[in-house]
Amino acid sequence: MRKNIVAGNWKMNNDLPATEALILDLLKQEQTSNAEVMIAPTTVSLFQAFNATKNSNIEVIAQNMHYAESGAYTGEISASMLKSVGVKTVILGHSERRAYFNETDELLAKKVDAALKNNMRIIFCFGEELTDRKAGNQEKIVGSQIKNALFHLEAAAFKHIVLAYEPVWAIGTGETASPKQAQDMHQFIRQTLNTKYGNQVADDMTILYGGSVKPANAKEIFGKPDVDGGLIGGAALKSQDFYAIINAF
Give the active site residues: 94, 166
Which has the closest alpha carbon to 58: 11, 23, 10?
A: 23
Query: Among residues 93, 127, 167, 234, which is the contact residue for ligand 13P, using CB under 6 A?
Result: 234
Q: Which residue has its beta carbon closest to ligand 13P? A: 233
Torsion (CA) 206, 240, 83, 16 in degrees, nearest 10? 150
Shortest Å distance, C-beta 121 to ligand 13P: 16
Does 233 engage in binding with ligand 13P (CB under 6 A)? Answer: yes
The verdict on 175 binding ligand 13P (CB under 6 A) reads no
Supply the DSSP symbol for 121. E
Dihedral of the alpha carbons of 147, 232, 3, 116, in degrees to the nearest 10: 50
> Which one among 171, 189, 218, 246 touches ligand 13P, defined by CB under 6 A?
171
Site string for ligand 13P, 51-70 (x = CB under 6 A): --------------------
Q: Total residues at the site for ligand 13P (CB under 6 A)?
A: 14
φ and ψ at 119, to 5 degrees?
55, 35
Cα 194 off chain centre by: 21
Neighbouring residues of 232: CB distance < 8 A, sequence distance ≥ 6: 6, 7, 8, 9, 210, 213, 242, 245
Residue 166 within binding range of ligand 13P, rule CB under 6 A: yes
Closer Cβ to ligand 13P, 126 or 197, answer by number: 126
Residue closer to ligand 13P (CB basis): 41 or 233: 233
CB atoms within 10 A of CB 170: 23
Residue ranges in 74-133 that form contacts with ligand 13P under rule CB under 6 A: 94
Part of the chain binding ligand 13P (CB under 6 A), chosen from 54-62, 112-120, 183-191, 209-217: 209-217
The answer to whether residue 210 forms part of the interface with ligand 13P (CB under 6 A) is yes
Rule CB under 6 A: say whether 9 interacts with ligand 13P.
yes
- Greatest distance between any 2 Cα atoms in the chain: 48
Query: Can you tell me which of 17, 172, 198, 223 binds ligand 13P, judged by CB under 6 A?
Result: 172
Q: CA triplet 14, 16, 20: central angle to 5 degrees?
A: 90
Task: Tell me the closest approach of the beta carbon of residue 167 to ligand 13P, in angstroms.
Answer: 10
Residue 118 region by backbone torsions, left for phi larger than 0, else alpha for psi between -120 and 50, else beta: alpha
Q: Which residues bind ligand 13P (CB under 6 A)?
A: 9, 94, 166, 171-172, 210-213, 231-235
